[in-house]
Amino acid sequence: MEMSTLMDPALALLDPTAPPPSPGTVAERLRGLLTGGSLDLPLPGHGDTPGRWAALARWGRDDLPLARLAEGHTDALAILDDAGAVAEPGALYGVWAARSGGTGAELTGGAGARMLRGTVRFCSGAHDLDRALVVASSPWGMRLVDVHLDDPGVRPAGDSWTTVGMRASDTQDVEFHGVGVPDDALLGDPGFYTARPGFWWGGAGVAAVWLGGAAGVVDDVVATLRAGEPDPHQLAHVGALHTTLRATDALLARTAEQIDADPKADHRTAAWTARAAAERTCRTVLDLAPRTAGVAALSRGGTLAQRLADLGMYVRQHHGERDLAALGTEVLGTGVRATETRDVEIRATEILATEIRDGEGPR
């Protein structure tokens, strides 16, 4: 039986025929994917989660800022489906949930008079999306609000993203100045956003984007080496990079299959594991790729330096040792005191529930 994989054989790691990125800005290309139907991915847990994650990985391999926005849109569609809501035809969506540094959206007022206020950091696609699912605090718990971004009370707050990594994702702080929230804009009950099984599936789907971004870096390294005469050390690095990409690819594909086989099961540990594996792969790529390609490949045009900057920023959604500690707690299970386990579970949920995992990169 053939092993499942997220990476399309036509885009195999060492295949020089991989297609170049399509022309246009990230916003133009994203709109093109929408109008062409490419953003209509299979819903997670509905029988083709591997196909869904394969598309996310391909977008990440092509262009990480584009993939970040595409993933946000497709995640929003999955959330709307979980809530029994219908997406607006032709609209580009995002999911804005950051509560970094004491900021975040707040929902006030009662039925017929609800208002959304506050500043949400790290809102990718701040100027070009049509709607966003915004996580907001309220006296009744955390609520998810479907917001029309053409409302005059929705205001991107200048140029609040000043680093080169993921800059093309148009990630900005967004201020909400008394945006009216009708009853039908509230999705689910309080706590719905993180209580869904799909919350964990979405977190693992982001790892597929990371994997694709790592593969894109390695594509550039391989192209550089093909143009020269690689030494044995460079060849060894290529072998190591190929191995870590394929191992994580296989794990993600297997995790996706497990979700489809039993969508009602608790796949939280599997999602954490897949994310941890993808993060480790990205760190290996970020370490080995510059050493393998050399300074000329980094400094004389091409996409390698930008890909590295984008990947290094985006993968920091993972919290390293803190996320690994949460995973370790799950592995130990009853061997850890209940209060400690609960504290770690709460913290891990909070980490995954923020757009930027406590301010360290765009979601």
Question: What is the per-residue pLDDT across 90-133, written as a single tens digit (0 to 9) for each?
Answer: 999 999 999 988 999 999 998 889 999 999 999 999 999 999 99
C-alpha span between 18 and 62 (Å, rounded): 9
Own/partner pairs, 12-15, CB within 8 angstroms, 24+ separation: 13/215, 13/218, 13/219, 13/222, 13/242, 13/245, 13/246, 14/222, 14/242
Q: How many CB atoms lie within 10 A of CB 168?
A: 19
**Do 138 and 108 touch, CB atoms closer than 8 A?**
yes
363 residues of the chain, pLDDT tens digit each: 344 577 654 343 333 444 555 668 999 999 999 999 999 999 999 999 999 999 999 999 999 999 999 999 999 999 999 999 999 999 999 999 999 889 999 999 988 899 999 999 999 999 999 999 999 999 999 999 999 999 999 999 888 899 999 999 999 999 999 999 999 999 999 999 999 999 999 999 999 999 999 999 999 999 999 999 999 999 999 999 999 999 999 999 999 999 999 999 999 999 999 999 999 999 999 999 999 999 999 999 899 999 999 999 999 989 889 999 989 998 998 555 544 444 544 454 554 444 333 333 445
Q: How many CB atoms lie within 10 A of CB 333?
A: 9
Residue given tokens 């945006």 in the structure block? 179
Domain positions in the chain are 1-91+191-363, 93-190
Q: Quote the CA–CA distance of 300 and 98 in Å, as a whole number.
A: 36
pLDDT at 65: 98
Strands (E), the chain: 93-96, 104-108, 114-123, 131-137, 143-148, 154-156, 172-181, 186-187
Neighbours of 114 (CB within 10 A): 20
**Is residue 363 within 8 Å of residue 355, measured between CB atoms?**
yes
Closest CA to 149 of 94, 74, 201: 94
Q: Are strands 172-181 and 131-137 parallel, antiparallel or unpaired?
A: unpaired
CA distance 92 to 77: 10
CATH of domain 93-190: 2.40.110.10
Helix then strand then coil, in percent of the chain rounded to 5, is 55, 15, 35
DSSP letters spanning 231-272: -HHHHHHHHHHHHHHHHHHHHHHHHHHHHHH-TTS--HHHHH
Closest CA to 314 of 344, 351, 357: 357
Which pLDDT score is estimated for 320? 87
- Residue 120's closest CA among 143, 139, 101? 101
Residue 108 tokens read as 């006030």
